Amino acid sequence: MSRVEGTVRSSRARTRAFRIVAGFLGVIAFVLALIVAVAYGVDQAALQRNGTPALDPHAELHHYSGMAVMGLLLAAGALATATGGGGPRAIGWATGIGAALYGAASLAYPDHLGTVDTPWAVLTLLWGLALVTLTELEMRRPPTTREPG
């Protein structure tokens, strides 16, 4: 085996290992998001169920149930990004920015209904930024090629 062939094989092995690690981190991001989204969804469902539509326009317009769905969709976006389904770069960016914006809005308006407490807002903001970062790291790696033979 020539020196060039050894370098190419080593580069392919590193690329393959990076893709496995990035995919694993993406799945971890999905699992964490799903756990938090379910807990958040239960909280929002209680607000929806216990709200009085005549007194709470959020309950009347199903704001709380919509927020519960948002949490689940952020988790689903993380899964789609991790598995490479349907344009992972666009999905990763949209999901990451959506989470970051929600975290930032919760920090900017902590007294509004539908926001999360400050520690969760910071974690949501950081999770969104981390998802965008993982997406870009994955997309900037050279594509894997089939090994000859």
Residue 149 maps to a domain = no
Residue bearing tokens 């999901």:
95
Query: Given this model, what pLDDT does residue 19 score?
Result: 65
Given this model, what pLDDT does residue 146 score? 42
What's the pTM? 0.73
For residue 147, tell me if it sits in a domain.
no
Task: Give the structural domain span for 89.
Answer: 3-140
How many C-alpha atoms does 49 have within 13 Å on its Cβ side?
7
* Residue 122: predicted pLDDT: 96
Q: Is residue 94 part of a domain?
A: yes
Task: Give the C-alpha separation, 80 to 92, whole Å.
Answer: 8
Cα 48 to Cα 118: distance, rounded to the nearest angstrom: 22
Q: Does residue 26 lie in a domain region?
A: yes
Asked if 103 and 124 count as a contact pair (C-beta separation under 8 A), the reply is yes
Please report the pLDDT score of residue 128 as a whole number. 94
10-residue mean pLDDT profile of the chain (149 residues): values are 56 64 77 90 88 79 89 90 80 93 96 88 94 84 54
